[in-house]
A and B are shown apart, each in its own frame.
Chain A
């Protein structure tokens, strides 16, 4: 019998030991299998044509979601924040195929498309909004510009916005967006906003929770100061603000719908007050 070459034996032993896991992997292949190379099988929804646009319907459990938050900017206009779930903004791949959970957003003012958003933050110039109350809507779109939808309804979120008073007042603040302590021509409440101040200490709410009567269309300025991190939520109007200990959170809005609405905190679950709008 032919004796194996000594070096062959040596290297063979080394290889055998390697195979047994001396340093993880055999040397007989290419680079270690890396990430999963399995081709994608998921379909990117079902396209439907609706007049001038297409939607792409996905099951509710996989559908992305969006919530639009509108904050007045400290200098001018508004800062829009799109809080999304199961969604990534992909400006670089726009024009490509629709991939679940990716794309961009379309921004509409009173139903008219005014911008394409490639990131969760967008500054809306004061000039872009005429005087008066308007509806801002964002819809999530795929890279191929079809709109994501679920159960036939586009994935969208809306908020009302007050256009700034311009020449009518002729003051330096004319170009800044309307905030509630600026008189508005809308509704019946032409005076000062209804101010509500609430302090939270531990689980004690001051003043004790009660009801505040508000005329429909009136401005409301809600100021909440808490001693711990939390989130305050105005039901019905779906407004939320983070609470930072010791720093008042201010929510200003127009009570443009009637009903009984609770104001509560998310974490601690405290009811701060109830708004009766009629």
Chain B
């Protein structure tokens, strides 16, 4: 039991609500990492352009026979070029990428890596001497959070290849495809390649793979390009770019990551404070493919990212952006624009690898190469695009199809989750998100590939809108106008999410890969029917309220005629009618409560609204019958019934605008008062009392 000293009821309630909300935190894909404090670049840079001039450094291996085999099937001209480069490289080239990076004397260098496998053996030994004892805080993940100076001093404590503070460097694989040049960390480093404070860096046409965190990590850089790169098999991310501006991902590919393939986290927050009208985007992502990850794309504070013409498929969820975690510059997340992407069939469920202990093995033994993914956090499998706290995001003209759960999921992330406590900030997400004009449930070839639902939304936030075809949860959502910023109707204006969805998040958030904990009540991990927390909570509530309804009828309504007949000033002729009204109403209410249990798992249908209609009607009727004897309690019962009917309207006809709390909340909060009141009214009356109307033989305690 929680104890809150000297707090008002309201404040206790607030704390309880906040606690529930706090537990929401890890429910959505929480896409983040721990890093030294960094701030955004000043934005004076630009997106670098591919160069064919400038000082050149070559990297290759020495085995000629192996090289011949690797280039054997190249187109003639490319093969010729590579053979020439190989000869040159034997004379004045380097055997490891890091050796070449260390020879860069200034901006504008080009490093060419020839086809081969690069394991960077000189970087592999365990740190010794001062590097083994750096004074730095340990992150919760177990690695040290090093300063830039410490990274410079000990570049291979965490990185296979470290590019630190070098400007305008271009690194290119000279093969026919990214797979011809492989930088392989063999799960021996956190990062395969770290580019830190490297304005103007350009990566092209090679593969980086097998790390215990990220394959390619670009940090605090103004100007970067990731061009035809492949990353795969990482505990967390394929591409991770953080606190950077003027970035371009183009024609990249990533798969087999425990978090996401593409992560433009804390992209420069250049559009904060603007509406939908923005001058530019900080990072552009185009022509990329991301598959067989926990999520294809993700970004805590993925601000001002323009993602277009990409394919995110065969992940647990296609794309995600959020505002859930502290220490990410630029929160809350805002102004991502998703256009013309194909986001489909994101229905993978990798939780079996957590369940059977595969993910508890060391990284190299989990089998990432044969399709194992270890989901780092709880995510709802079967989701197209998830937004957990974000504003002014635009999702339009995308193909989103074939999802077993939903095309779009939108949730609220209260500000204190990211460490901001000011009250006026708590509801600063999720607003003004535009999900209009997408092609939902249909593939580009015209074939019909429906999503199970088009929207799952907790109902919080203002001016969010959707154009939909499949069912949605809630049953009605605000429609979009023609362009971002325009709605088809009044929209909605709620400060808090729906209680049932909060309870659901609370349970799902208990997922923990380390402890192999897969919450039994959460459908994300396979529970169904009565095992689902929504159904259990509804069942519990229905049984409890049902008991009160039944007792009220048995003790206070069934005998109403007798009480009325003997009562002072009662209308004796109306008494039997009131008795019948009470009985019919109680039956209606009980039927509504029963139906509500069945509807709990199907809130994208009209079942919950039908249940609420019955319950609301029943409670109103009971209130009318009770009013004869208990004027105020009867009145309260009518109010509860009316709020329930309002909830039915909210869940079937129109999401009622301008309400800061949904009818479900109003009804739930009022129900607490009503239940207490009902218990008082149900209490056996004293045998002798000076008030005659409150005594009847049937109600006297035995």
The judgment on whether A and B are partners is yes
A10, A25, A32, A100, most chain B CB atoms within 10 A: A32
Return chain A residues, CB-CB under 8 Å to B26.
Answer: 24-25, 31-32
Assembled-state Cα–Cα distance A34/B517 (Å): 11
A95, B232: Cα distance in complex, Å: 14
The reply to whether A35 and B359 form a contact with Cβ atoms under 8 Å apart is yes
8 Å CB interface, B10-49 against A: 11, 14-15, 18-19, 22-23, 25-26, 30-34
Q: A260 at interface (Cβ–Cβ under 8 A)?
A: no
**CB distance A97 to B376 under 8 Å?**
no
Does A247 interact with chain B (Cβ within 8 Å)?
no
A114 at interface by CB-CB < 8 Å: no
B186 at the binding interface (Cβ < 8 Å): yes
- Report the bound CA distance from A92 to B371 in whole Å: 9
B551 within 8 Å of A (CB atoms): no
Cβ contacts A35-50/B at 8 Å (1 or 0 each):
1111111101000000
- C-alpha spacing A95/B180, complex, angstroms: 9
CB of A3, distance to nearest CB on chain B (Å): 12
> In the complex, are the beta carbons of B510 and A23 less than 8 A apart?
yes
What 9 A-B pairs are tightest by C-beta distance, nearest first?
Answer: A34-B376, A31-B30, A23-B23, A30-B32, A90-B369, A40-B187, A93-B369, A97-B184, A37-B212
Q: Does chain A have a CB within 8 A of B182?
A: yes
Q: Is the CB of B369 within 8 A of A88?
A: yes
B672 at the interface (CB under 8 A from A): no
Contact call B19/A40, Cβ cutoff below 8 A:
no
Contact B32 A31 (CB under 8 A): yes
Smallest CB–CB gap between B613 and chain A, Å? 34
| Contact between A90 and B370, CB atoms less than 8 A apart | yes
CB-contacts of B468-510 with A (<8 A): 506, 509-510
Knowing A10-B14, A22-B19, A37-B213 are in contact, say whether A92-B369 is a contact too (CB < 8 A): yes
Interface residue A202 (Cβ < 8 Å from any Cβ of B): no
Comparing B137-145, B595-603, B676-684, the segment that makes contact with chain A is: B137-145
Residue in A18, A42, A88, A97 whose CB lies within 8 Å of B19: A18
Give the number of residue pairs across the A-B interface with Cβ within 8 Å.
Answer: 180
A89 close to B421 (CB less than 8 A): no
Q: Are A14 and B22 in contact (CB under 8 A)?
A: yes
Check B184–A10 contact: CB distance below 8 A: no
Interface size, B (range): 35 or more
The reply to whether the CB of A28 lies closer than 8 angstroms to some CB of chain B is yes
Please report which residues of chain B, range 141-158, place their CB below 8 angstroms from some CB of chain A when the two chains form the complex.
141-143
Contacts of A89 in B (CB 8 A): 370
Assuming the contacts A35-B376, A97-B186, A102-B369, asked whether A11 and B416 have C-beta atoms less than 8 A apart, the reply is yes
B587 at the interface (CB under 8 A from A): no
Is B190 in the interface zone, CB < 8 Å from A? yes
Q: Return A41 CB to nearest CB of chain B, in Å.
A: 7
Task: Give 11 new A-B contacts, CB below 8 A, not counting A30-B34, A97-B119.
Answer: A6-B11, A11-B416, A23-B506, A25-B25, A27-B419, A30-B140, A30-B327, A31-B325, A35-B360, A40-B187, A95-B182
Pairs A–B under 8 Å by Cβ, sample size 22? A14-B18, A14-B19, A14-B22, A29-B326, A30-B32, A33-B142, A34-B259, A34-B377, A35-B376, A35-B513, A36-B360, A37-B363, A39-B187, A40-B362, A40-B363, A42-B362, A88-B367, A90-B370, A92-B232, A96-B184, A96-B369, A144-B117
Do the beta carbons of B23 and A22 come within 8 Å of each other? yes
A14 shortest CB reach to chain B, Å: 5
Q: A39-B190, A88-B369 are in contact. Are A33 and B514 (CB under 8 A)?
A: yes
Inter-chain contacts of B18 with A (CB < 8 A): 10-11, 14
A18 to B236, CA, bound (A): 26
Count of residues in A whose CB is under 8 Å from the partner chain: 45
Which residues from chain B contact A173 at a C-beta distance below 8 Å?
none
Is the CB of A13 closer than 8 A to any CB of chain B?
A: yes
A260 to B232, CA, bound (A): 54
Q: Quick check: A31 and B376 within 8 Å, CB to CB?
A: yes
Expressed in whole angstroms, the minimum distance between the Cβ of A16 and any Cβ of chain B is: 10
> Which chain A residues lie closer than 8 Å to B212 at the CB level?
37-40
- Judge whether B423 and A93 touch: CB under 8 Å: no
- How far is it, in angstroms, between the C-alpha of A84 and the C-alpha of B129 when the chains are bound? 42
A190 at the interface (CB under 8 A from B): no
Of chain A, the residue at the smallest CB distance from B186 is A97
- Chain B residues, CB < 8 A from A17: 2, 19
A100, B364: Cβ atoms under 8 Å?
yes
User: How many Å lie between the Cα of A38 and that of B211 in the bound state?
Assistant: 10
For the complex, is B374 an interface residue (Cβ under 8 Å from A)? yes
How far apart are the CA atoms of A30 and B363 in the complex, in Å? Answer: 21
Which A positions have Cβ atoms within 8 angstroms of B? Answer: 6-8, 10-11, 13-15, 17-18, 22-25, 27-42, 44, 88-90, 92-93, 95-97, 99-102, 143-144
| Residue from A18, A28, A33 having most chain B Cβ neighbours under 10 A | A33
- Out of B23, B179, B258, B370, which one reaches A88, CB within 8 Å? B370
Name the residue on A nearest B328 (C-beta).
A30
A34–B364 contact, CB under 8 A? Answer: no
Cross-chain contact B421 with A8 (CB below 8 angstroms): yes
Q: Which residue of A lies closest to B34 (CB)?
A: A30
B364 touches A10 (CB 8 A): no
A27 to B22, CA, bound (A): 7
Q: For the complex, what is the distance from the CA of A103 to the CA of B330, rounded to whole Å?
A: 44
> How far is B513's CA from A95's CA once the two chains are assembled, in angstroms?
31
Contact with B189, one of A30, A39, A144 (Cβ below 8 angstroms): A39
Identify the closest chain A residue to B158 (Cβ): A39
By the criterion CB–CB under 8 Å, are A31 and B377 in contact? yes
Chain B residues near A8 (CB-CB < 8 A): 421
Whether A34 touches B188, Cβ cut-off 8 Å, given contacts A6-B11, A13-B4, is no
Smallest CB gap from A6: residue in B? B11
Shortest Cβ distance from B113 into chain A, in angstroms? 14
Question: Taking CB as reference atom, which chain B residue is nearest A52?
Answer: B65
- Distance between A13 CB and nearest chain B CB, rounded to angstroms: 6
Question: Could you tell me the distance between the alpha carbons of A143 and B236 in the complex, rounded to whole angstroms?
Answer: 23
- In the bound complex, residues from chain A placing their C-beta under 8 Å from that of B142 are 33, 36-38
Return chain B residues, CB-CB under 8 Å to A11. Answer: 18, 416, 421
- Determine whether the beta carbon of B117 is less than 8 Å from that of A40: no
Q: Does B417 contact A (CB under 8 A)?
A: yes
B513→A10 contact, CB < 8 A? no
Q: Indicate with 1 or 0, residue by residue over B367-397, a CB within 8 angstroms of chain A CB atoms.
A: 1011000111100000000000000000000
**CA distance in complex: A175, B208 (Å):** 48
Provide the residues of chain A in CB contact with B509, threshold 8 Å. 23-24
Chain B contacts of A101 at CB under 8 A?
365
**CB <8 Å contact, B374 and A35:** yes
In contact, A14 and B364 (Cβ under 8 angstroms)? no
Residue of A nearest to B24 (CB): A23
Asked if B362 contacts A38 (CB within 8 A), the reply is yes
Interchain nearest-CB distance for B556 vs A (Å): 39
Bound state CA distance, A32 and B509, in angstroms?
Answer: 10
Q: How far, in Å, is B442 (CB) from chain A's closest CB?
A: 31
Residues of B near A144 (CB, < 8 A) are 117
B359 contacts across to A, CB distance below 8 A: 35
Bound: A42/B186 CA distance, A: 10
Complex contact B15–A40 (CB within 8 A): no
Q: Give CA–CA (A102, B117) in the complex, Å.
A: 17
Measured CB to CB, the closest approach of chain B to A116, in angstroms, equals 13
Give A107 to B577 CA distance when docked, in angstroms: 90
A22, B4: Cα distance in complex, Å? 14
- B30: A residues at CB distance < 8 A: 30-32
- Interfacial chain A residues near B433, Cβ < 8 Å: none
B15 and A24: CB pair below 8 A?
no
Take A18-B19, A29-B140, A93-B233 as given contacts and tell me if A10 and B11 are in contact as well, using a CB distance cutoff of 8 Å: yes
Contact mask for chain B residues 392-429; partner A; CB cutoff 8 A; 1 contact, 0 none: 00000000000000000000000011010101000000
